[in-house]
Structure 1
């Protein structure tokens, strides 16, 4: 196991030994209840251990189904494919994978095969996974460092920049442009014209348009797919994370029929791409049960309503607290960004932390949230000044009360210099300096 991860948890005091998870809550070894705003990086859209999901998985185990025959066509996979395509009626086919990064890998292969082109364009600050193809599209150097050379033909451009995309596609050698409708690393939201413009440019230059909805899909942003906010119809949509229900990993590539027909174009090419466990019965049943819960419990609507409430609350906090630079998000994908203050005492303390490690200030928010308010949260990416909220879509008004009280208290405490929060900051800074010296 990863000893460095253990050290991280011990350093920031997150090593409480979680023993139980129900819905949006976690319980540690002492029985203390925490509100989980990470939800497994978006996996637990319907919450942990949902009874409907557990019942569905139990039924599969009790049914003696002929799982993974391989020389067969899975009925459960067909049913899940049909259900998913109802949410994207402009697409025709589904290819199942075991994860989001595998969905990205499949989409890259499909795009190159369908277009005969080598190039792939992605955005800075993007995160599409950590296997080699997906890593080659990663906009954060810390994930790429030490693992090169990566796959050729991948070009990075600024996010939310149509002129840069136009230049990248104009040579007509790009197979696909892949983009997160809302970037997970930072909760970066494009302007209202960007995705429509990107779609138009892709069609102009014969490039396939891939929407990576691995984190934003299945209701996270108050729409079933985030692209619905902008009315675009990509050539491929990638799903994973929440589709699993948190128990049986599953990913999916939703694509146009024309793409599939160029990949699987002859009987001897029926198996040119696949994955041994991708259509296993537990994963397919988990996906079907997850969709049932989302629909029957109105979770897309709940994400929209609770998200609007929380955004309004955070915007009010930004007006009261100078360290809150901006708030952004859609539905229950929210980023609270902190920035350099105006007052002299705070400015000096902020500068000290930044000189030690960019983004370190956010730990002065997340650690007190965890220790004093029993809320699990984290920053939105490496060297980020944004704390991200990604709770289960089942959260209640009482949970929103909890979130608002806790954040308001933690942020207010961070404005008191000297104070306990800045003493914590000095401890973290000293630790970071010792680590740097040891390296």
Structure 2
């Protein structure tokens, strides 16, 4: 879905403490999730369409987990920040990290930060930066006790929580107005060609092609094995004519030859498939390293901001160390993959080589056997030609047979020479 504001991935980033989103008894969803769902509907009405803007909210992480590279990327590419201020939010160093990281990107007076007050916060605990921000209190004090009550618990009620819907409408209205303003002020859309996506598409297609080819060859081999077993069973039948036996043996030889050829091809395709898998993994690694480098630069730049409290800056420094460690680990893995790819490109598969040599030697023995058989036939016919009682027609027939045998032997010797040359290459 395209964003409402050009050159941003997210129009809105929701920052909240997960402790504030635990569903109460009687509620189907957490308080934050319910609020965001209602906000989406209200924004859709004010902007004119439900799919006209993008909102990012993390549903996966829990409060004790650090901000990961994906969240940094989402923050970088967000136009506005809606944060749910609460005791839990202020107690979470990761929530504060999101807040100050976004604040370091924009001017404090930009009107791009929207503070939803989940509950009142004591003045001494309040963030000094929020004084100038647009705020939307979703709580009221009880008329009798004076105690604060968060509106919409366990879930919003139209009669009891009118203040909830008033604040929701105010938030949606001012957020929609800010989005419209940012859209009007945005520079023309930058058309960026996603080279990684294209490389990934080609790599996936290559992997898929070799995977399909491997499956096809394996299926063909299995079919030939079934044929071979069937013919072998036929050879065991009693009283089988000699001519049929020879025919079946020839078929077995042809099947064996075909299977050997397919096995060689299968090994080659399997090697190509593994190489394609390595190339694909290499692409993902390179992309991940790029993201980590970008994240490192982003955090380093954020640290230059005067907004960060010392405790949050400490967290950022820890994050930088983690990013550097992860980046170095992936860089080492990438180097190993590059080395593996070079080996696969430059060195033929030993298994393929062994299969080829085995097949050539088998062909060599078969040709040698055929030459011996033809030589014996040639000798027998030559002896028969010496018989003085042979008619002229018989002699002519024998001479023709000798010529055919000699031609066949010459052809086989040529094949033998080619095989010897191929074997000498190994």
TM-score, length-normalised on structure 1?
A: 0.19
Q: Higher strand fraction: Structure 1 or Structure 2?
A: 1
Higher gyration radius (CA): 2
